[in-house]
Structure 1
Amino acid sequence: MSASQPASSADQEMDLTDVFALFQRIFYKCLALCFKAIHFIFKFWWIILLLIIGGAALGYFTKGKPKYESTLILKTNFNSQPYVYNAIKQFDDNLSENDAGFIKAAGLDINNLGVTGLEITPIIDVVSLIGGDSKISDRALSTVIKELDVSDDTEIFATDRFYSNYKYHTLTIGTSDEKGKEDISKVIAYINSQPFIKKVSEEGVKNMIDRIAKSDLTLEQTDLMINSYVKNSDVTNEVQSDELSFFNNQNNLNLNGVLAFKSTLITEIEALKNDLVTSSEAAVIVSDIQVNKTASLKDKKEVLYPILFVFLFLFFAGVRFTYLSLKKELQAKNLLD
């Protein structure tokens, strides 16, 4: 038993020595390949230089015109979201088909077209979706989510089942140059000029103005009623230190309720007037129209082509070197005879 232990220890030492020797041979082979690669690059530096110059020249003359893009915040009014989305989609489809009649009808110049594409997505506000005007209960919302087939949870609330509940949307418009602002304005004007959208917008603005006028009249009547109450009542005697409610037994007027109603009415009128500023049409741009250059790999061809050409040159040189090395080794072992 004791004689076998030294033998086993010696075998382990030999195995470790072989492993280290193997790693050493591999390291020196890799080091030799690196030196050969460096020698090859210095030897054929002029070819690599020509590939870099040629690739840069080819990329510069073939990269084409730069593309521009404008990202806008679009507000939809009077529950016109489905109609606006449909109009934008049709506009984009007609641009893709290069429909000359449509482009001319939209007030654009087909020979100098500034708009190249449109895309609209809702600005998701889950809080307003659940607790806002949509009045969707948590249970109903959960049921709808289970029925939807989407790959990402963040896409759930951007589907057509929900976008009609959002007022604000991101409108991305591709342009051919920096002077695409005029065409962007024409696109928005064309969308708002659609017969049904225009009718919805006109009726919506009219109803909003009427509502503001009636609310102002109601506010005036409320003030008159409060003033009349103050004149005809001994307010000083009826005020109690431990209560905030005024009650007249003769006319059943709850002054505290009237004052609360007045405060609510004032807030509503202010909201309506503020909303009217951005509700002149069904689709209104509420952000500055700015056109920025888009960066993509196609715009960097003068850099990509030289890298690609040099890579292909070194790759095929490596393949050739590997082929010749393997062939030489096989010939040394007389395996190709």
Structure 2
Amino acid sequence: MADQPVNQNTSSDEIDLGQLFQMIGRGFNKLGNFFLQVFLYLKKNAIILAALVVLGGAIGYGLKFITSEKMQVDVIVRPNLESKDYLYDVISEIESNIKAKNESFFKEMGISVEDMVGFEVSIEPVKKDTEKAAEKQLEYLEILQKFQNTDLISDVLREELLKNTELNHRISFKYINPEGDVIAKKLIDYINSNSYFKELLAVHIENSIEGIKQNEVLIAQIDTIIQSYSKNLSNADKTYETGKVVLQNEEKLNVAGLLSFKSNLIEDIENRKMELKELTSPIGIINFGKPHQVSKAFFGKKIIMIPIVLLGMFFLFSIIRYLNRKASEFEVSNKI
């Protein structure tokens, strides 16, 4: 009699497991029936679905020849003389006039409003690889620590600031007109036509040229002094301090300081020549790219998108028709 409850529990567990397996089996049967119905539906409508795919592909292929693909030109520029704000403002001005179809604005540049149909312009900073920059931050700090007690700290700071500053900007021109790259060049010329910055640039160039001439005069004078020093040194009959000589007028000459000053003058001349090479316009053109077709996402292509749209409309129509039929059956059953 003591074993009877145990037997009852075992029998109950077996019944529960059996019911569980039956439920799982019914679930698989329903899943199989669902896939079977889907297969039958696709088989029944295979001809229609294939026709829609072919029709959509043909329409997309035809539209490829009817509609023009957009082209793009990217221009990398660098604002000179603190003209960054002006650059972004003038790009906004061009965008506004394109939207407003301002005929008088473009006429001054030799551009017609019809040429600007489908034309777009945008600007963004050329950003550096932030991940690589983050990885090198520790290296920068180590460099600064090494030079913190030396005169080179300012040069290191300047170099690192320039590396991590977004100096260059990308102006993108998108267009349909085959002459879009010519229009882009005219717009760049318009951007660089600002009279204020042109005058400022002319003054800056004049100052740089004058500074180079003055530095060259100073270098020639230093060379003359050093040559005189050499002659006096060879004819010296006095005892001199290290690196210094007493001339006829008894003035002391710091040769090391002169050589250092000459080196700074030469470096300044090189920097000014580099500036003159770069400062040819208020907005420097680093690279005027070649026209290229605007890349599109896979589903953005007409030859793919149109068949998908047609198939989606067909499936939506089938679902609505099925729901309508079920609603009619439900209504009839309720009346009965």
Asked if these proteins are the same fold (TM beyond 0.5), I'd say: yes
112 and 255 in structure 1: CA distance in 2 versus 1, 3 angstrom threshold: same
2:146 corresponds to: none
Paired residue type of 2:169: H
SS of aligned partner of 1:69: strand
Contact 1:83 1:197 in 2 (8 A): no
Alignment RMSD, CA only?
Answer: 3.8
How far 1:323 sits from its partner (Å)? 6.3
1:95 corresponds to: 98
Instruction: Report whether the alignment pairs 1:29 with 2:30.
Output: yes
How far 1:132 sits from its partner (Å)? 3.1
2:101 and 2:74 map into 1 onto residues whose CA distance is 23
SS of aligned partner of 1:290: coil
Contact 1:222 1:258 in 2 (8 A): yes
Counterparts of 1:56-67 in structure 2 under 5 Å? 56-62=57-63, 64-67=67-70
Q: Deviations over 1:118-173 (max 9, x none)?
A: 22222357999x9439989xxxxxxxxxxxxxxxxxxxx9xxxxxxx753212222
How far 1:197 sits from its partner (Å)? 2.5
1:200 corresponds to: 200
TM-score by length of 1: 0.74
Paired residue type of 2:254: N
How many aligned positions are there? 303
Contact 2:103 2:112 in 1 (8 A): no
SS of aligned partner of 2:287: coil
2:158 corresponds to: 132
Paired residue type of 1:52: V
Counterparts of 1:32-181 in structure 2 under 5 Å? 32-62=33-63, 64-113=67-116, 116-124=119-127, 131-132=157-158, 166-177=166-177, 179-181=179-181
311 and 13 in structure 1: CA distance in 2 versus 1, 3 angstrom threshold: farther
Unaligned runs of 5+ in 2: 134-139, 141-153
Contact 1:202 1:281 in 2 (8 A): no
1:336 and 1:23 map into 2 onto residues whose CA distance is 36
Instruction: Report whether the alignment pairs 1:311 with 2:322.
Output: no
Bigger Rg, which one: 2
How far 1:281 sits from its partner (Å)? 0.6
Among the aligned pairs, what percent are the same residue? 23
How far 1:46 sits from its partner (Å)? 2.1
Contact 2:115 2:177 in 1 (8 A): no
SS of aligned partner of 1:233: helix
41 and 224 in structure 1: CA distance in 2 versus 1, 3 angstrom threshold: same
124 and 314 in structure 1: CA distance in 2 versus 1, 3 angstrom threshold: closer
TM-score by length of 2: 0.75
How far 1:279 sits from its partner (Å)? 1.1
How far 1:193 sits from its partner (Å)? 0.8
219 and 116 in structure 1: CA distance in 2 versus 1, 3 angstrom threshold: farther
Contact 1:66 1:299 in 2 (8 A): no
15 and 83 in structure 1: CA distance in 2 versus 1, 3 angstrom threshold: same
Q: Deviations over 1:172-220 (max 9, x none)?
A: 2222245432222211110111222322222222222223333333332
1:218 corresponds to: 218
1:186 and 1:6 map into 2 onto residues whose CA distance is 96
1:150 corresponds to: none
1:139 corresponds to: none
15 and 98 in structure 1: CA distance in 2 versus 1, 3 angstrom threshold: farther
Question: Does 51-60 or 274-283 show the bigger shift?
Answer: 51-60
Contact 2:74 2:288 in 1 (8 A): no
